[in-house]
């Protein structure tokens, strides 16, 4: 790899100072970096060159998710440098950035393909919206402390009816995100499966489900036990975009044909990363 593009979170890299320093370092090693660093703080206002070998993202996991969703039709791997807190998706941090880059330039890295989700918002037979997620699709309420009612179907068969704050459908990559904070299991990120985890359920159905990535998952929003005309419901895709829902609407979730390619250093396993992050 010798052609790079750098994108940084403008809230964590003021004035792109760290991006500029990294560009200078990479070019001192004889590699090429696109002229101007791009901003990931408030959206993508740039076009990544087609001949780019690697997108370097400076930020945290949220910045990585934003990059992954916007690279959905490209096969460019993403190398994350963590400027935030946990950074499960990143390969290094700001203190080890130069060492991380040197290992990449030396070929001591691997590309992991991570599965993504495609969610469709359905009202009757009409598809109102579709979106992708690398971490998770979550159905919940916005402006109330009341629980909501959701029916879970798998491959067209009704499975559970949940009374909860919401439900998370997660990929293995997303298992260390919202799924983990709601008591769901941690899964090796290259595994080929899907997770269903209720958020604060008011029933005995409080365990996560592990399903095949080939399953079709459908969440139907049911009328609330105590209807509130002011109550709002939404489906969130990686916590970024959302679809406003109403009782009777459904979110259908399948494994997307797209994948996210994440660059990892050869000498750093997921278990090593997990051990370090869980002891912070």
Q: Which residues are catalytic?
A: 61
Runs of H (alpha helix) within 47-150: 61-70, 97-105
Strand partners, 101: none
HSE-CB at 265 with a 13 A cutoff on CA atoms is 21
**Nearest Cα to Cα of residue 216 among 251, 165, 167, 179:** 251
Judged by phi (left if over 0) then psi (alpha if -120 to 50, else beta), residue 79 lies in beta
CA distances from 158 to 169, 182, 266 (A): 16, 23, 43
Are residues 6 and 37 in contact, defined by beta-carbon separation less than 8 angstroms? yes
Give the pairing type, strands 38-39 and 32-33: unpaired
Count of alpha carbons within 13 Å of 278, Cβ hemisphere only? 10
Identify the residue whose tokens are 């990559």.
173
CB 48 within 8 A of CB 74: yes
Whose structure tokens read 């690697």? 54
The tokens describing 263, both together, are 């660059």
**What is the DSSP secondary structure assignment for residue 213, as one 8-state letter?**
T
Angle, helices 17-28/97-105, rounded to nearest 10 degrees? 40
């Amino acid at each position: 790899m010798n052609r790079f593009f750098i994108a940084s979170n403008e809230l964590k890299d003021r004035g792109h100072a760290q991006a500029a320093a990294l560009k200078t370092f990479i070019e001192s090693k004889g590699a090429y970096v696109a002229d101007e660093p791009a901003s990931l703080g408030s959206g993508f206002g740039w076009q990544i060159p087609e001949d780019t070998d690697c997108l370097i993202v400076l930020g945290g996991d949220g910045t990585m998710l934003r990059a992954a969703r916007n690279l959905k039709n490209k096969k460019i791997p993403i190398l994350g440098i963590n400027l935030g807190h946990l950074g499960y998706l990143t390969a290094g941090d700001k203190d080890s950035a130069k060492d991380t880059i040197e290992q990449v330039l030396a070929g001591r890295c691997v590309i992991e393909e991570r599965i993504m989700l495609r969610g469709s918002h359905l009202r009757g037979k009409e598809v109102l919206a579709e979106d992708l997620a690398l971490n998770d699709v979550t159905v919940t309420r916005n402006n109330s402390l009341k629980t909501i009612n959701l029916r879970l179907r798998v491959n067209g068969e009704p499975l559970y009816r949940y009374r909860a704050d919401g439900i998370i459908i997660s990929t293995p990559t997303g298992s260390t995100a919202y799924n983990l904070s709601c008591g769901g299991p941690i899964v090796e990120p290259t595994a080929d499966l899907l997770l269903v985890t209720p958020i604060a359920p008011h029933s005995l159905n409080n365990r996560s489900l592990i399903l095949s990535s080939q399953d079709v998952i459908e969440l139907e929003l049911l009328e609330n036990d105590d209807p509130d005309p002011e109550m709002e419901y939404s489906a969130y895709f990686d916590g970024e975009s959302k679809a406003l829902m109403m009782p009777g609407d459904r979110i259908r979730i399948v494994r997307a044909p797209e994948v996210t390619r994440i660059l990892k250093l050869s000498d750093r396993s997921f278990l090593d990363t997990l051990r370090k992050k869980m002891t912070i």
